[in-house]
Amino acid sequence: ELKVEQNPLFLSMQEGKNYTIYCNYSTTSDRLYWYRQDPGKSLESLFVLLSNGAVKQEGRLMASLDTKARLSTLHITAAVHDLSATYFCAVSTMYSGGGADGLTFGKGTHLIIQP
């Protein structure tokens, strides 16, 4: 059974600071996703990471993937209040390898950025 673990689950930080969210997963997978969810809202795709060593950046967020360690990180640089949200990592489960793969999500990291 694929397990996806995020830490921390809750993070309160000040604007201007840097921090990293970690996502570990238990079995081989070919795709890792990061999503953002605002309270009561849907999931917004942030990054798709496909290969070992992949690094993607969008604004103050940067995501990386180490498939050998089964670890992805989401790094926040110089945080601003607008980045307050819950961040989920999700891994493609590859049940059959040929069909539509469901995603297994971590529990999410609830991020609060205070002025």
52 vs 30: CA distance, rounded Å: 9
Q: Which is nearer to another protein, 31 or 60 (CB)?
A: 31
Query: Rounded to the nearest whole angstrom, what is the least distance from the CB of residue 103 to another protein in the complex?
Result: 6
Residue 61 has which token pair? 């967020």
Residues near another protein (CB under 8 A) are 33, 35, 41-45, 48, 50, 88, 90, 93, 95-96, 98-108
Of 14, 53, 33, whose CA–CA distance to 105 is shortest?
33
Q: How many helices (H) and strands (E) does the chain have?
A: 0, 11
Q: Which is nearer to another protein, 3 or 81 (CB)?
A: 3
Query: Rounded to the nearest whole angstrom, what is the least distance from the CB of residue 112 to another protein in the complex?
Result: 15
Q: Which is nearer to another protein, 11 or 80 (CB)?
A: 11
Question: Which residue(s) pair with 69 in the sheet?
Answer: none
First CA to last CA distance, the chain: 41
Q: Which is nearer to another protein, 50 or 78 (CB)?
A: 50
Query: Rounded to the nearest whole angstrom, what is the least distance from the CB of residue 82 to another protein in the complex?
Result: 20
At residue 79, the 3 state secondary structure works out as: coil
